[in-house]
Chains A and B, each alone.
Chain A
Amino acid sequence: MEIKIRKQVLEKNLTEADKNRSYFKKHNLFVLNMMSSPGSGKTETLCRTLKSLMPDIRVGVIVGDICTFNDADRLSVTGAKVTQINTDQFGGDCHLAAPLIDTAAQKLGCEDLDLLIVENIGNLVCPAEFDIGENARVVVLSVTEGEDKPLKYPLMFQVSDAAILNKVDLLPYLDFDAPLAVENMKKVHPGMPVFELSAKTGEGFDPWLEWLRQQVKQKTG
């Protein structure tokens, strides 16, 4: 006997993501989901971003890692409100799912924020699959990785609204072909803005900040 079901397997996560969306909307908040492989420089990029945006834009950060509070410690120095999620207690998950974001956002308190940034767990595969109720997604690739990463992890680059190519200060010392990396990103996601920058030196940072400010402004008025 056949029983029809027709359900999305991740439906539960989608329902939770919708709840998050309503909560964020209620607080007039722009939410950015930042994703990348481990070591691409998400935290360093965020530290510089927070220093530039605050205090004009009130920013909070939810940072996810399997273990350690290291990233929260680094980000707290900027003065932003930060909360750390460790997923080891949930079986070492490789991504942040919507229910975890709900708990973390309540803990952080979003009433006095304009922008909430979620620094996802370093992984180019799983986080792309899980909606957390965000308004936009940004993927960070660094020049110490490979130019072909967008072609190897197409879903991540396809679901992102913008991309950062980080650590461009290292280009003189590497064989990395930056134009090819950007071309590969645009093959997977035509029209996606790509910001080539160095979180360490600040080179190329302004267009990225301008893009983010615009996104927040459009959302929060």
Chain B
Amino acid sequence: MHEMGIAQELVKIALDAVPKDLENPQVASLHLKIGKLSSVVEHSLTFCFEIITKDTPLENARLEIETVPVRIRCTGCGKKWEADTPVFQCPDCEQGQIEMLSGREIEIVSLELLE
């Protein structure tokens, strides 16, 4: 629901990273890491990104989104595992508190400029 805001931040960060001394720079793709537990809907983000990048160096840039799995550590028994469903109880001891190791990222990793 806040994909437009995320797309706007993404564009700001990406444009900042493009070297200022290039003439007519064109970005081919952006590499993102998005955690499975983050509330970002991929197709909404792509849709918003396309709208706001018109007439910028990011126009037609591909969003290459790497989905990061939800990885958890039980602080009770130390078990680490990957959760496929939103049930985050420790499968071994069932009562430990948990720590999220990954799955909440909304990260811009790199961009690829057209040569």
Contacts and interface: CB of A to CB of B under 8 A. Distances in A.
Interface of A: 1-12, 93-95, 97, 123, 125-126, 128-129, 150-151, 154-155, 158, 186-191
Contact of B95 (A8, A97, A190): A190
Interface of B: 1-2, 5-6, 9-10, 13-14, 17-19, 32, 37-39, 85-90, 94-98, 100, 104-113, 115
A9 B89 CA distance: 29
Contact of B109 (A6, A12, A125, A187): A6
A190 to B, nearest CB: 5
Contacts of A190: 88-90, 94-98
B39 A9 contact: no
B111 to A, nearest CB: 5
B113 A3 contact: yes
Given A11-B13, A12-B9, A188-B88, 11 more contacts: A1-B115, A2-B113, A3-B18, A3-B19, A3-B111, A6-B107, A11-B9, A151-B87, A154-B88, A189-B98, A190-B89
A111 B109 CA distance: 41
A154 B86 contact: yes
Contacts of A129: 2, 38-39, 106
Nearest to A123: B1
A9 B10 contact: yes
B113 A9 contact: no
A154 B89 CA distance: 12
A187 B83 CA distance: 12
Nearest to A130: B2
A125 B44 CA distance: 14
B27 to A, nearest CB: 9
B39 A5 contact: no
B102 to A, nearest CB: 13
A191 B97 contact: yes
Nearest to A8: B107
Contacts of B111: 2-3, 5
Given A9-B9, A190-B96, A151 B1 contact: no
Nearest to B112: A2
Contact of B88 (A2, A95, A187): A187
